[in-house]
């Protein structure tokens, strides 16, 4: 993979994309894109894969963010009717998402890589446990009416806070959004998934521009992730109403906790 320091690595893409590592990354990214289309959590697969391929933690995080933008575009394309039905909420929540993403991206770039390495295992543990607890969280969907007095404050503040996390790390952000919105929005899972995917395009797209300008993106890795995740995101959108992601969830949790253990022991 490239060094993640400049756009100059783009000139090596034609050669690099023919390597076995690139093929593996594309295939894993396609599976991760399906995760995003169904429930989110693709970063928990992409991030440890990039680490295993020798990409430094900070570069792996920003490259995964850039590369996963197409996965959300694929899901949006597959759920375009549901996305159009959510356009009012999309407009209302976009400023909160962009604001949070800006804070998170700034925090990520402001602190040295050593600080990121210290906190990332805890972030992965938290995201993995949240991912594992999704069935319990989803049992509470619809219990708070959209007309509840605390609805708007919880919706806006919660979305802003999760967007900060998304700009800083991102993995399992989609699960966090579904958990929050499921408590305050009276909508089906497919509608919430459509809204999550549309706003994730905004968040990851904004962060992608910031990270690209920062020079921390490994473009070889990002392009591999983008190609695979686009196909996976589109496929995931078509199974979101049919597939219960129990087995996917178990695999992601095991990979996430395993990665955390390795990072803790380093």
Confidence (pTM): 0.76
Per-residue model confidence as pLDDT tens digits over 178-237? 778 877 787 877 788 889 999 999 999 999 899 888 888 888 889 999 999 998 888 877
Q: 233 near 37, Cβ under 8 Å?
A: yes
Q: Write out pLDDT tens, residues 92-131.
A: 999 999 999 999 999 888 886 567 667 778 877 887 787 7
CA–CA gap between residue 122 and residue 69 (Å, rounded) = 24
The count of other CB atoms within 10 Å of the CB of residue 24 is 15
pLDDT at site 176? 79
Between these two residues, 14 and 232, which has the higher pLDDT value?
232
Mention every residue, 6+ apart, whose C-beta is less than 8 A from residue 81: none
């Amino acid at each position: 993979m490239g060094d993640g320091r400049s756009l100059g690595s783009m000139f090596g893409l034609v050669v690099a994309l023919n390597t076995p590592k690139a093929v593996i990354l594309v295939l894993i990214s396609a599976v991760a894109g399906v995760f995003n289309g169904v429930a989110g959590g693709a970063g928990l697969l992409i991030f440890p894969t990039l680490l295993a391929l020798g990409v430094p933690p900070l570069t792996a995080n920003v490259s995964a963010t850039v590369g996963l933008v197409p996965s959300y575009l694929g899901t949006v394309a597959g759920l375009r009717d549901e996305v159009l039905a959510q356009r009012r909420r999309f407009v209302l929540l976009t400023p909160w998402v962009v604001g949070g993403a800006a804070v998170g991206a700034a925090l990520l770039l402001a602190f040295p890589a050593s600080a990121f390495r210290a906190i990332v295992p805890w972030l992965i543990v938290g995201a993995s446990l949240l991912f594992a607890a999704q069935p319990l969280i989803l049992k509470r969907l619809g219990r708070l009416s959209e007309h509840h007095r605390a609805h708007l404050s919880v919706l806006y503040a919660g979305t802003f806070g999760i967007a900060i996390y998304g700009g800083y790390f991102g993995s399992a952000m989609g699960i966090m959004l579904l958990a929050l919105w499921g408590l305050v929005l009276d909508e089906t899972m497919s509608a919430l998934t459509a809204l999550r995917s549309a706003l994730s395009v905004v968040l990851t797209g904004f962060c992608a521009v910031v990270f690209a300008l920062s020079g921390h993106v490994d473009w070889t890795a990002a392009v591999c992730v983008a190609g695979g995740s686009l196909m996976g995101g589109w496929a995931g959108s078509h199974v979101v109403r049919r597939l219960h992601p129990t087995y996917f969830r178990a695999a992601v949790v095991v990979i996430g906790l395993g990665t955390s253990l390795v990072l803790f022991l380093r």
